[in-house]
Amino acid sequence: MDDTSRISAEGGVGAAQADIKRLRPDFLREHGIPALIGLFAVIVVTAIMMAYSEYFVRDHLIFFYLLPVAGIAMIFSSTPAVVTSIIAVFGAAFFLFPPIFSFQVDERLQVVELFMFAVLAFIASKASSRLLR
């Protein structure tokens, strides 16, 4: 038995957990901070859309959220982009679809639009992150 297997066998579960912690990337650096940047990007896009909502048809503004989702996917990875897309879906339901400032969506077509946006944002985040590889 070589030294590394003897050490792992002697150390038991504690040694294996220490090895896993050393191999695992820093979760906050890899996913947490990019997800917070995605949250901030969604907030900025929402603020811009709310400020200029009188110039746009509010029903189809959800697709502006693809900009921060694709940007986060290209800069960081697909995991923070998926989190950003989930935040965007909840933001659109809360701020864009009537009744405003409620997560209740009255029209079935808008529920379908939210679902299709979530699927499209997931696909775009995966494609954008693979583009950089």
Q: Mean pLDDT throughout 102-113?
A: 88
| Poorest-pLDDT segment among 25-29, 34-38, 65-69, 108-112 | 25-29
| pLDDT (tens digit per residue) in 41-72 | 999 999 988 888 778 776 677 888 989 998 88
- Residue 20 scores a pLDDT above 80: no
Place of tokens 């965007």: 88
Round to whole Å and give the CA distance between 42 and 68: 7
Q: Which residue has the higher pLDDT, 118 or 4?
A: 118
Question: Between 66-75 and 108-131, two packed helices, what is the crossing angle to 10 degrees?
Answer: 20
Give pTM, 2 decimals.
0.73
| Poorest-pLDDT segment among 2-6, 21-25, 86-90 | 2-6
